[in-house]
Structure 1
Amino acid sequence: MFRIIWVISINLRNFMRRFMPTNILLDAIRTRRGLKWGVPAMLLAIPYLFAASTCTALIDGGASRWLYVVALACIWNALKFIAIGPVSVALLVWQRRFEQRLDRQRQASLPAQINA
């Protein structure tokens, strides 16, 4: 039983990772070229929070309680976009320091190559 649940969760995660637009966008932001878009992507949390608010208002007005699932998904996506801003800034700082370190190493080894 545990193995079946484990396999289903792995397959569901793989499906969500490949085909859900928010996950595709977050994967693109985590690349070297996309790190600069992390902070502006935080603004995408606003429409998701608005959609969650609208869903809960509709439920209070008498709509189906299944909209709680949609509201939960919207809140989850909003939290992902809020979190990617600081994470992308930290990754960008780390990447730039790494690149500077590589440049210094290349420049230090360049005179040794010319003299040889």
Structure 2
Amino acid sequence: MFRLIWAASVRTHTILSYAPSNLLLAVTRTRRGLRWGIPAMLLAIPYLLAAHWCVTTIENGGPGWLNLVVLLCAWNAIKLILNGPVTVVLLLRARVREAVARCRARRPDYGLFGLPVGVMG
């Protein structure tokens, strides 16, 4: 039974990794895409509006399966909202690493006796 559940979760993860919100999260987690994390948070608004519309439709006698759409929209909105601060932290961390690498590249390499390498002859 456990093996069946595990296999189903792996297949579900594989299928859902191609969902648009998951692709957007993957793009914003790259070094080049980190600066787009905060603007990508704005894409949570359409998800929240869709969830609100579905809830209103359900309350007015709509089909019950729209509850799944509400759950999906709310989950995607939460993911996008939380992705913004995460990408800010990752961007700051990447910029600090790059600054340290630039500093180390400018600093001369010192040898055994405290002289720059290449001077000792």
Class of the TM-score when normalised by the shorter of the 2 chains: over 0.9
Could you give the per-residue CA deviations for residues 52-71 of structure 1, whole angstroms, max 9, x where no partner exists?
00001001111111000000
AA aligned opposite 1:34: G
Counterparts of 1:114 and 1:87 in 2: how far apart (Å)? Answer: 44
Q: What TM-score, normalized to structure 2?
A: 0.89
CA RMSD of aligned residues (A): 1.6
Q: Which has the larger radius of gyration?
A: 2
Q: What TM-score, normalized to structure 1?
A: 0.92
**Runs of 4+ with deviation above 3 angstroms:** 109-116
Counterparts of 2:30 and 2:118 in 1: how far apart (Å)? Answer: 35
1:15 corresponds in structure 2 to 15
Residue 104 (structure 1) aligned with residue 108 (structure 2) = no
Q: Which runs of 5+ in 2 are unaligned?
A: 111-115
Q: Tell me, what secondary structure is at the counterpart of 1:36?
A: helix
Counterparts of 1:16 and 1:77 in 2: how far apart (Å)? Answer: 12
Counterparts of 1:39 and 1:25 in 2: how far apart (Å)? Answer: 12
> How far 1:109 moved relative to its partner?
3.6
Q: Tell me, what secondary structure is at the counterpart of 1:33?
A: coil
Q: Tell me, what secondary structure is at the counterpart of 1:13?
A: helix
1 or 2, which has the higher helix percentage?
A: 1
Matched residue count: 115
Residue 29 (structure 1) aligned with residue 34 (structure 2) = no
* Equivalence map 1:1-116=2 (5 Å): 1-17=1-17, 19-109=18-108, 112=116
Counterparts of 2:4 and 2:28 in 1: how far apart (Å)? Answer: 33
Q: Tell me, what secondary structure is at the counterpart of 2:32?
A: coil
Question: Percent of pairs identical after alignment?
Answer: 44
Counterparts of 2:102 and 2:33 in 1: how far apart (Å)? Answer: 21
